[in-house]
Amino acid sequence: MSLYDATAHAFALLFSGDAALWRIIWVSLKTSIIGLLLATPPAVLLGYAIAMHRFPGRRIVVWLAQCALSLPTVLIGLVLYLLLSRRGPLGPLEWLFSQSGIILGQFVVGLPVLLAFTLAAVQGLDARYAETARALGASRWRVMTTVLHEARYGVMAAVISGFGRVISEVGCALMVGGNIEGETRTITTAIALETSKGEFAQGIALGIVLVALALLMNGALMLLQGEAHAAGGRA
């Protein structure tokens, strides 16, 4: 099958409302979004705390966070597999080869991205914001919400980068999820499988969805940042 035929067939599949195909997209979106929703609060809090405080070993923490960005997701998958397998410490949860397992994987894969980007956004912010808030009598909590509000475009970029990382990763979802049809088959694991079976149309259809999602998310970010520039703020 030529690339053209495969692509034409892919669009036909997408618009015919092929149930299996849309089920895969749904599983991918659901696990990515839940994983990201769970990872965002702790990652943003930690990123803020590391950016704002001086403590012994701080540089090591920053270094480790940056390193975690480039951890191969198959390695994360392998560690989680061992933890979740029947004899592993998390075995009793029975999360291996389940959507809960994939969500845990997305949480672990997304957290360092969110943390490192939030850290950079807060660290890059003018120190006078936090100082002004403190000088005007803001509590620690209010200083944090003020600083995160001023760094909001950076934090949004963190969330979008995190989404990009979890929706597109294949290693962890494959190892922890097991690529079970209708249950734990995600866009990326399905593409790998369909390609190995020679079913290129399905793979391309899923690839188109993935690219469309990336375009959508990054377009939204650009629009928001464009508004920030128009308002004379910092993106």
Partner 1 sequence: MSALLTIRGLKKRHGERLLFDIDELSLDAASAYVLTGVNGVGKSTLLRVLAGLDSAQVDSVSFEGKPVALHPYPQLLRRAIVYVHQHPIMFSTSVAQNIGYGLIARGEAKARVASLVEEAMAWAGVGYLRDTDPARLSGGEKQRVALARARVLQPRLLLLDEPTANLDGAAREQVIALIPTLMEQGTTVVMACHDRDLIGLPGVRRLKLRDGRLEYRA
The contact set with partner 1 (CB under 8 A) reads 126, 128-129, 131-139, 142, 146, 149-150, 231-233
Task: Report the residue number, 3 or 135, with the smaller CB distance to partner 1.
Answer: 135
C-alpha–C-alpha distance, residues 191 and 201, integer Å: 10
Which positions ≥6 away from 96 have C-beta within 8 Å? Answer: 81, 84, 85, 86, 176, 178
Could you tell me the smallest distance in angstroms from the CB atom of residue 133 to partner 1?
Answer: 7
Q: Which two tokens stand for residue 55?
A: 């403590």
Could you tell me the smallest distance in angstroms from the CB atom of residue 158 to partner 1?
Answer: 18
Closest by Cα among 61, 63, 80, 18 to 206 = 18
Distances (CA, A) of 109 to 24, 165, 178: 20, 7, 17
Could you tell me the smallest distance in angstroms from the CB atom of residue 149 to partner 1?
Answer: 7
Could you tell me the smallest distance in angstroms from the CB atom of residue 108 to partner 1?
Answer: 34
Could you tell me the smallest distance in angstroms from the CB atom of residue 235 to partner 1?
Answer: 12
Q: Which two tokens stand for residue 60?
A: 């090591």
Task: Report the residue number, 121 or 204, with the smaller CB distance to partner 1.
Answer: 121
Which residue in this structure is represented by tokens 């701080």? 58
Task: Report the residue number, 23 or 134, with the smaller CB distance to partner 1.
Answer: 134
Could you tell me the smallest distance in angstroms from the CB atom of residue 144 to partner 1?
Answer: 12
Could you tell me the smallest distance in angstroms from the CB atom of residue 132 to partner 1?
Answer: 6
Q: Which two tokens stand for residue 77?
A: 């998958």
Please list the alpha-helical segments (H only) found in the chain: 3-15, 19-52, 58-69, 73-84, 99-123, 127-135, 140-150, 152-168, 171-172, 187-197, 200-230
Task: Report the residue number, 133 or 166, with the smaller CB distance to partner 1.
Answer: 133
Task: Report the residue number, 133 or 175, with the smaller CB distance to partner 1.
Answer: 133
Task: Report the residue number, 78 or 221, with the smaller CB distance to partner 1.
Answer: 221
Distances (CA, A) of 130 to 18, 28, 117, 123, 176: 52, 39, 19, 11, 42
Task: Report the residue number, 5 or 126, with the smaller CB distance to partner 1.
Answer: 126
C-alpha–C-alpha distance, residues 3 and 79, integer Å: 37
